[in-house]
Every structure is written in C-alpha cells, then in structure tokens.
Structure 1
Amino acid sequence: MPTRIVIADDSYLIRQAVAGLVGDEDDLAAVATVGDVDALLAAVEQHRPDVVVTDVRMPPTHTDEGIRAAQRVRDAAPQTGVVVLSQFVRREYAVQLFEGGAGRRAYLLKDRVAEAGQLAHAIREVARGGSVIDPLVVEALLTPAGGDRRLGRLTPRELDVLREMAAGRNNAGIGEALSLTERAVAKHINAIFAKLKLTEEEQVHRRVQAVLLFLAAS
C-alpha cells in the first residue's frame, strides 16, 4: 500500500507541483491538497494520512502556521509524519519544529525539493519514524556565536565532527572530511551524545537533536 500524503500550501501552483512530484513515485499517493491550516487539520482527521507536507507560512498571518499545524498534528495524530517546506533558511523554524521530538519530522527548502528525489526521500524517512533537515539549512548556520553551555564540554575534534553532522554527512562522509576512521567517528559521536546529555533518544533522533543544539547556539 502506498504512503498516503496530505499536501498543504496556499499557492495552488505549488500544491500541484508537489502533488506532481509525489505522483511520480509508485509508493507515494496524495490523498488531499488543501490551502490553509483549518483545511489541513480537517484533511488529517478525514484521511488519516501517513505524512503531511506543509508550507511554513500560510493564511491568515503567513508566519509559522505550518509549524504550529505540525505541533497540532503531533497531538492529534502522533503516527503522522510532517514534512515542512520553507522558502527561507530560518533556524527558529527548525528548532520549533523539532522541539517536541525529532521523530517523524522533516524540514526542507522549497527550492530543493525536486533535486534528486529529496522530497520523496524525506516523506519516506518520516513515514518510518525518521527525521530530515535540509543540509542547506544547517550549512548556512554552522558557526556558533553565543554557544550552548553544553557545547563548551566538547573537544575541538568533537566540535569538528558535530559541524560535519550539521552539514548532513553520514559517518563515512565525516571520516573522509576529517581524515578519521569510521570507528573513530562513531566514538566521537557517542562522546558528543553523552556530553550533550542525549543518551535516551534513538540514534537518528540524537543526531538531529545534537545538530539543533548546535544551531540554537549560533
């Protein structure tokens, strides 16, 4: 059975474009397209989709309606994943989206959703309980300014590893970038999780939470 998706955006053209991208995938199916938050919540109640794809900014205020809708979906239908699309690189949106838990949440830039199946990948990932953050979101915010106090516990090498995590690299990519073995990368990551007190989450969620701490300090 295909993954069932509700698409929310106040732009008809974008709704149709996203529905077209979804329709190109045999394992994905758009069951509703809507233009505002009230219609989105009604569609979630009616269709019980596996994933919602929503714009950040929708009527009436065009600020963070999509993020707040994601929070309401978490309360009403916790097994429903949410992929939030944004036209802007905004750290506060990412932090707000993931603050209730990283599972079944993704944050992507609209300009990149058609690249190499990124949207389809994010939908599949959140449908199975994972998390996705667009690498361009974190690449624009890689240099911490104020610094979370917990980040001060990290060694320079651990901070290097965390920066590479924030850039979206897996363990092999981090090792290649920093000339480390994958085993050494794994040890550094485990140390990061312990020092940031992220020991209770599943592995994929802890990676996201560590990156969000890094972003919140920038």
Structure 2
Amino acid sequence: MAALRVLIAEDQVLLRSGIARLLEDAGLQVVAEAGDADELLRKARAHRPDVAIVDVQMPPDHGDDGLRAAVRIRRELPETAVLVLSQFLEERYATDLIGDDAHGVGYLLKDRIIDVESFVDAVRRVAGGGSALDPDVVARMVGRPRVDDPLDALTPREREVLALMAEGHSNRGIAEALGVGAAAIEKHTTRIFHKLGLTATANEHRRVMAVLTLLRAR
C-alpha cells in the first residue's frame, strides 16, 4: 500500500520540520513543504498531495492567508484533503474551511500535535475522506446558545455522541470514549439522524450531514 503523500505549509521552519519528521516516522511521505500561502498553492497544484496540512496564519500578510489558500485548494483540488492547524480557537475558521462539505477536512489546534498518535490518526482520517474537528471547537459549538436550534431535540447523551462524531470518531471510538457498548451508540446515532431529519441517505453521508448541522446551527 502506497504511503500517504503530504504537503506541509507552515512558516515556522522548526515546527514545519518537526511535523515532517513526525509524519515520516509514522510512515507517511512528505512530498513538499511551503513557507507562505502562495508557495502552498503552487506546490499543491504541482504535487497533488493526498493531504495538505496548513497553518492558518502565514505570509505574505500574516492574517488568515493559509486558511484562504486551504479553502481554495478544497475548491480547485477536491482530491486533496486539507487539515488546518491554528493557534487560536476560532469557530469561523472551521466553518469557513468546511463550507458545505465535511468530507476530507480537518481543523485542529496546534497543541494537538503533541499527541502524536492522535495527530497522525487525524491526518489519515482526513486523507481517507473523513473529518477531524478539534474537541475544544466542537465543545464551543455544542454549548453556545442559539435561536431555533435544531440540536434542541437531542438529549444530552445524543449531543455527546454528535460532538464525538464531529471530532471524527467512528461508532466504535465513540463507544470506547463514553464507556458503553457499540450497540448503544448505534441506537444513539440512529436517533440523532432521525431527529435531524437525516433518514433518507447512506449512513456515512448522514454522519457528514449531522456534522454540518452542528456547524451551521446559530
């Protein structure tokens, strides 16, 4: 099986090199590195990596240049998954990045890199077409007050399950996190889909749509 091909975009050279070393030690292939948003776009188009790992704040303007480049990559190169790293807990970054499609996309705080196993798992999950949202971002989205909230119909346990689903966990992973059986999680996810009106599509698509419902709820 061919190694996942990764592009890393980070303007801090030491951090970029560190991420590259972590991924290569885990068996992934780093095909290119970029230090600014323009270089990121050029190298993404040239190498067509399986996944691009992108810092939000990059040159040339040191604003959200990396995020805007990541959104552009998602639009121009749909076969390339995108995992964005940020120092800041910003819901807007996550919602701008994901848009209307939660396939092959992730948003993590940079602190998560310290947990190497979880970080590499997130890279692989996103590259495989899944999603990976930072737990702190998900917690803020689930907990904030909203008007006409579609999540109001969910029980506290169902909200927990949806939050873990948004982080990218499988039903088995959710069951392990909550200390319950897989059958119980199957029942919770079925109820979530029903309450959110997601009963007529394939299971994987419904998981993505449930995550989008969480992101869009205001």
TM-score between the two structures when normalised by the length of structure 2: 0.82
Q: Could you tell me how far apart the structure 1 residues matched to 2:5 and 2:98 are? A: 22
- Tell me by how many angstroms 1:162 deviates: 3.3
Structure 1 Cα separation of the partners of residues 119 and 7 of structure 2: 13
> Equivalent residues in 2 for 1:37-76 (5 A)?
37-76=37-76
Query: What's the CA shift string for 1:26-72, capped at 9, x where partnerless?
Result: 2x111111111111111011111111010011123333322322221
**Contact in 2 for aligned 1:162/1:210 (Cα 8 Å):** yes
| 1:194-209 aligned within 5 A | 194-199=194-199, 203-204=203-204, 206-207=206-207, 209=209
How far apart, in 2, do the equivalents of 1:116 and 1:59 lie? 26
In structure 2, distance between residues paired with 1:153 and 1:8: 40
For the Cα contact (< 8 Å) 2:57–2:64, is it kept in 1?
Answer: yes
Partner of 2:95: 95
| Kept after mapping to 2: 8 A contact 1:57/1:65 | yes
The total of aligned residue pairs comes to 217
Matches of 1:61 and 1:114, distance apart in 2: 27
User: Shift in Å at residue 101 of structure 1?
Assistant: 0.6
TM-score if structure 1 supplies the norm length?
A: 0.82
Using the TM superposition, give the Cα deviation of residue 176 of structure 1 relative to its aligned residue in structure 2, in angstroms: 7.1
Question: What residue number does 1:145 align with?
Answer: 145
SS across alignment from 1:113: helix
Distance 1:124 1:178 in 2: 23
Separation (CA, whole Å) in 2 of partners of 1:127 and 1:202: 20
Structure-1 residue corresponding to 2:126: 126
Q: Quick check: 1:5–1:50 contact (8 Å CA) kept in 2?
A: yes
Deviation at 1:168, TM superposition (A): 6.5
What is the alpha-carbon distance in structure 2 between the residues aligned to residue 176 and residue 29 of structure 1? Answer: 30
Query: Aligned equivalents of 2:208 and 2:61: distance in 1?
Result: 29
Residue 9 of structure 2 corresponds to which residue in structure 1?
8
Computed over aligned residues only, the root mean square deviation of the Cα atoms, in angstroms, reads: 2.9
Any idea what SS the aligned residue of 1:124 has? helix
Is the CA contact (8 Å cut-off) linking 2:51 and 2:127 kept in structure 1? Answer: yes
Is the contact between residue 131 and residue 205 of structure 1 (CA under 8 Å) also seen in structure 2?
Answer: no
How far 1:132 sits from its partner (Å)? 1.1
- Counterparts of 1:200 and 1:63 in 2: how far apart (Å)? 41
- Code of the aligned partner of 2:91: R
Give ranges in structure 1 of 5+ residues lacking alignment: none
Q: Does 1:33 align with 2:33?
A: yes
User: What is the percentage of aligned positions where both structures have the same residue?
Assistant: 46
Taking the aligned partners of 2:161 and 2:178, their CA distance within structure 1 comes to 8
SS of residue paired to 2:145: coil
Q: How has the CA–CA distance of structure 1 residues 10 and 174 changed in structure 2, closer, same or farther, with 3 Å as cutoff?
A: closer
Give the counterpart letter for 1:210 in structure 2: A
Name the SS for the 2:143 alignment partner: coil
How far did residue 104 of structure 1 move? 0.8
